[in-house]
Amino acid sequence: MTLALKLLLAPLLAVASSLAGRRWGPGLAGTLVALPVVAGPILLITDLQHGRRFAAPAANAALLGLVTLALFAVVFARAARKLGWKGSLAVGWGACLTADLLLALLVVPPPIGLLLALAAAGGAVAVMPAVTPTGGGHGRAAQPAWDLPGRAVATAVLVLMLTESAAALGPRLTGVLAPFPIATSVVAAFTLAQHGHQLTAALLRGVLRGLAAFATFCFLVAVLVVPAGTFVAFAAALAAAVVVQIAVVRVAGRRPGRRPRGYSGSQ
């Protein structure tokens, strides 16, 4: 069961966000990829394997991991203006991992972690590169046959690497690493390689908008899993995350037909 979660859930998210990007543009795709469908299963697996008293501090630490996810979005978007996808990933991952190791030493109560995650997301939006709509065509560009399978495989490999290395690291480091930009890295790298840095920045702005729902999920798991149990905590956290995400999309005005110009095909 846990292996199925690792191999299927996150890759399906990457594919789903790619298809959403083809239909509605990179902003919505980024918002979708920010849902906790990678960190959520990681936290659930740690709960099932190590108990609720392991999962609670891991979920609390995951709130600090969202700070580093916001950092990744900014670093990748800025590096993308001069570097290719490989260089941007290297710089973004280096910054993210360094911050993760430092924040794993910090212990804060869940409400403070929630505020830090939301503040980091808001601050990251403020310093993101500006997005200038391109004047490209509006038609769909043909995509190679390996595009969606390639994204799914890349996501699955990254999930396995992270979960297998993080499982023995303890609740705090496991939690901080849970929001590591796995699906985000895949879709951002493909967007940069296929469509350039402008639409990559639009994608990552969507990711930052989605962090409010992600933070809500981690916060509720952290505070509910011990007193309420696994099922109630994760069900309530998921429901709240979906509600917040829907509200974010509506506030952002992301409706079908409002796709940025120049964005045809997948991100």
Predicted local distance difference test score (pLDDT) of residue 217: 95
Residue 9 domain-assigned? no
Predicted local distance difference test score (pLDDT) of residue 98: 94
Domain that holds residue 211: 24-132+144-252
Residue 260 domain-assigned? no
DSSP code of 243? H
Residue 18 domain-assigned? no
Domain count, the chain: 1
Residue 214 domain-assigned? yes
Q: What's the count of helices (H) and strands (E) in the chain, helices before strands? A: 12, 0
Count of Cβ atoms closer than 10 Å to residue 85 Cβ: 19
**Chain-wide mean pLDDT for the chain?**
80
Predicted local distance difference test score (pLDDT) of residue 258: 45
Residue 192 domain-assigned? yes
Residue 259 domain-assigned? no
Residue 4 domain-assigned? no
Predicted local distance difference test score (pLDDT) of residue 267: 30
Residue 43 domain-assigned? yes
Q: What is the pTM of this model?
A: 0.80
Low-confidence spans in the chain with pLDDT less than 70:
1-6, 9-10, 13-14, 17-18, 20-22, 24-31, 33-34, 132-147, 158, 162-163, 166-167, 252-267
Count of Cβ atoms closer than 10 Å to residue 258 Cβ: 12
